[in-house]
Amino acid sequence: MEAPSAHTGRPIFDDLVTARLRTAVHRPMSEDTRQAVAILDTVTAPTLVLWGAEDTWLPTTTGDRLATAIPGAVRATLPGAGHFIAEDRPEDTAKVLVEFFGSRTP
């Protein structure tokens, strides 16, 4: 069975919606994703887009696009980690998070 496809109106994020639909059991999940994608450019909180270099569920280019869409976002990649970076590389994930949050001023 082929994974469903969805079009968000913002083609650069179609892979996010399509990937989410692979495991979705009802329509509201995809609508939630579309709504979130539509407002990424309004995010004002410090944002770290942390991606596993070996992610086979979503390509690393998706992380690049997310970081580009969120003003001021920082992009980082963890070598040897897949989609579940905190499980694949817990110590490295913690180091990156501590570094990111430690570099922010209150």
* Residue 3 pLDDT: 41
* Residue 49 pLDDT: 95
- Which of 13, 17, 12 lies closest to 3, judged by CA? 17
* Residue 81 pLDDT: 96
* Residue 87 pLDDT: 93
Judged against a pLDDT cut of 70, whether residue 14 lies above it is answered with: no
Secondary structure of 17-68 in the HEC alphabet?
A: HHHHHHHCCCCHHHHHHHHHHHCHHHCCCCCEEEEECCCCCCCHHHHHHHHH
Judged against a pLDDT cut of 50, whether residue 101 lies above it is answered with: yes
3-state SS class at 105? coil
Helix axes 14-23, 28-38, angle to 10 degrees: 160
Among the listed ranges 17-21, 66-70, 81-85, 96-100, which one has the minimum average pLDDT value? 17-21
| Segment 32-36 mean pLDDT | 75
Unique residue bearing structure tokens 């998706």 = 62
49 contacts 76 by C-beta, under 8 angstroms: yes
pTM of the full structure: 0.68
